[in-house]
Amino acid sequence: MTIQWFPGHMAKARREVTENLKLVDIVFELVDARLPVSSRNPMLEQIVHQKTKLMILTKADMADERETAKWIEYYATQGIQAVAINSFEGKDLEKVLKETRVLLKPKFDRMKSRGMKPRAIRAMILGIPNVGKSTLINRFAKKNIARTGNTPGVTKSQQWIKIAKELELLDTPGILWPKFEDQQIGFKLALSGAIKDAVLRMEDLAVYALRFLEAHYPERLQERFQLETVGDDLEQVFNHIGQLRKVYATGGEVDYDAVAELIVRDVRNEHLGRLTFDFVEDEAPLE
């Protein structure tokens, strides 16, 4: 299965981001804490270039805590300041402000020395679809200003949002890149919900999920699906899960499509616990 998804509004968003970078002091690059590498758009890195940046690992409450700590340490070695937050509950937002103040202190000190009046920090929020940009904005604002949703592509245009006196945020649509050179990244993004299900074969995604669990979280595979291994006989595996969870089609046979959806839904809804799909040990140093 080849996963590609690049709606037209994303190409437009890329142009607008490039044009508006000069208006902001800092870029908040949001990545999914479960996918600290796979959810980074390499195209955004080219766009942002030398701009001051803070990486925010969203959905940290859904990720493996041990792996998240490793990723924050890893990015620090790469010269990238990163913080992990639970934006859904509005926790840890003060960490974002604290790190932002530290990163921008030299710039604002220079402005003050030149006699310029203090003003709010202007930040641009960037990230792929469904990574939690609008949710973060709403938690900062303590009200629903930006539209949110569990499907990618909710935000279609840029918008400025004032957060009290200290912070102004420029929200942007989620931007994926036109081609995933590594199809493993495509699978991981799809499993996390960053790509619309309509462009996927759910059975392929479910098989990827099962093999991932077997390799990295075998105890979860056993607990949830009573499977020691996945093996090559996928029909038998789907029959086993279908019978275990009583997923039958008309006539009493196991409904394979429904089983595939069940597996993916279990992963996305945390029925298998907190999972991380990228591992520091597998990552080569960033350029």
pLDDT value at 202 more than 60: yes
The fold of 201-268 is: Conserved Hypothetical Protein Ylqf; Chain: A; domain 2 (1.10.1580)
Work out the average pLDDT over 43-54. 84
Angstrom distance (rounded) from CA 160 to CA 97: 18
CA torsion, points 182, 171, 68, 90, in degrees to nearest 10?
A: -150
Question: Tokens 């499509």 belong to which residue?
Answer: 257
pLDDT confidence of residue 284: 55
Collapse the DSSP code of 254 into the 3-class scheme (helix H, G, I; strand E, B; otherwise coil) and give the result. Answer: strand
Percentages of the chain per state (helix, strand, coil), in multiples of 5: 45, 15, 40
pLDDT confidence of residue 128: 83
CA 132 to chain centre: 7
Q: In the chain, which residue ranges form alpha helices assigned H by DSSP?
A: 8-20, 42-48, 65-77, 93-113, 133-141, 183-192, 202-216, 218-225, 234-244, 256-268
pTM of the model: 0.85
pLDDT confidence of residue 152: 42
pLDDT value at 145 more than 90: no
Mean pLDDT of the chain, nearest integer = 85
**pLDDT: is 182 or 115 the higher one?**
115
Whether residue 170 contacts residue 23, with contact meaning beta carbons closer than 8 Å, is answered with: yes
For the domain 8-179, what is the CATH superfamily, name and number? P-loop containing nucleotide triphosphate hydrolases (3.40.50.300)
pLDDT value at 106 more than 80: yes
Work out the average pLDDT over 271-287. 83
Q: How confident is the model at residue 180 (pLDDT cuts 50, 70, 90)?
A: low
pLDDT confidence of residue 173: 72
Work out the average pLDDT over 125-133. 85
Q: How confident is the model at residue 148 (pLDDT cuts 50, 70, 90)?
A: very low
Q: How confident is the model at residue 6 (pLDDT cuts 50, 70, 90)?
A: low
The domain locations on the chain are 8-179, 201-268
pLDDT value at 97 more than 80: yes
Digit-coded pLDDT (tens) for 209-265: 999 999 999 999 999 999 999 999 999 999 999 999 999 998 899 999 999 999 999
Work out the average pLDDT over 37-65. 89
User: Where is average pLDDT lowest: 73-77, 178-182, 183-187, 278-282?
Assistant: 178-182
C-alpha closest to that of 230 among 243, 245, 241:
241
